[in-house]
Amino acid sequence: MATYLVTGAAGFIGARVSELLLAEGHTVLGIDNLNQAYDVRIKHWRLKRLQPLAGFHFYHNDLCDRPALERLAGEHPRIDAIINLAARAGVRASLEDPWAFLDSNTTGTLNLLELAQRNGIGKLVLASTSSIYGANPPYPTPEDADSSHPLQAYAASKKAAEVLCHAYHHLYHIDVTVFRYFTVYGPAGRPDLAMFRFVQRIAEGRTLHVNGDGSQSRGFTYIDDIARGTILGLKPLGYEVINLGGHESITINDLIAMIEEMLGRKAAIEHHPFHPADMMNNLADVRKAKDTLGWQPRVGLREGVQNLVDWYLAERDWASQVMTE
């Protein structure tokens, strides 16, 4: 069995990846700074599920704290791979505090690359984003589409992290898999993203704010598919950039209608101007993931949204109080 350093272990993707690795009998060294980029109660809920599991060790550290990273590596001289899922995420939030995004996404990645090359850790998996493709990418979007014109600091900080990974692969032969994730959703997801926010606001009869006319579309990707693909990326690949995304695209208006149907309630919608930092449409071309990893999405959109709705209703006592904006 292997030992994996998973950053962002209390995050949406990090927690699910950790659960799957632990279920396979591996050891997970989980790092998270438990920041308040979104309501921290949901991070504590995820962490509470991980902490009793055999093989899980939690470190309340920040990736910008280099001495803490070195101490951790000293305590665990054999780390087989780093899975860097820690990030400041969010298109609009990066407009308000771009420095936090640069610190976490770019400097944090640099610190992990240095940790890898100084301690003989030969593999790193990096979480990147579909936002890197900018305003008008091909549809569906392949990995070789232009990614040199990001629209906000979030995407720019992820592009910088990707470039650093390539440099360290070239200089030190660190094996790197970069995943560009497309709009991840599912139970216990990020409350600042559309899926959680829509379910909560419709269920509780609160006003639902929609930017634009709702005709924009997304290729949503279920959390279990993302976590499974991320683990497949631990295989030796050299340096590869791979999209992970859903195979079904849906407009915001149709998504709201689906959630209304599942909850048996109508949404009270308030429209706002379309945000210039947002993309109008996204959908991944995942042929490379299929060819390279044998991966393709398994969970259909309706099934995944129903899983989220069921989770929300089961956890409603506290989930209804989670801040979504």
How does pLDDT run across 257-282, given as a tens digit for each residue? 999 999 999 999 999 988 776 778 88
Please give the pLDDT value at position 135: 81
pLDDT, mean of residues 227-249: 96
Asked if 216 contacts 103 with a C-beta cutoff of 8 angstroms, the reply is no
- Name the residue type at position 300: G
- Name the residue type at position 260: E
Domains and CATH numbers, the chain: 3-185+220-247+278-298 (3.40.50.720)
Which tens digit of pLDDT belongs to each residue from 141-200? 999 999 999 888 899 999 999 999 999 999 999 999 999 999 999 999 999 999 999 999
Q: Which residue has the higher pLDDT, 282 or 89?
A: 282
Q: What is the pTM of this model?
A: 0.96
pLDDT of 202 > 70? The answer is yes
Which tens digit of pLDDT belongs to each residue from 41-88? 999 999 999 999 999 999 999 999 999 999 999 999 999 999 999 988
What number of residues does the chain have? 325
Nearest-Å Rg of the Cα atoms of the chain is 19
pLDDT, mean of residues 15-23: 98
Please give the pLDDT value at position 18: 98
49, 55, 60, 62 alpha-carbon torsion, rounded to 10°: -110
Please give the pLDDT value at position 92: 67
Start-to-end Cα distance in the chain: 41
Reading the block at residue 319, the tokens are 């989930």
Asked if 274 contacts 268 with a C-beta cutoff of 8 angstroms, the reply is no
Please give the pLDDT value at position 141: 95
Measured distance CA(106)–CA(162) in Å, rounded:
9
Confirm whether 154 is a catalytic residue.
yes
pLDDT, mean of residues 187-216: 95
- Catalytic-role residue among 4, 38, 133, 154: 154
Which tens digit of pLDDT belongs to each residue from 101-143? 899 999 999 999 999 999 999 999 999 999 999 888 899 999 9
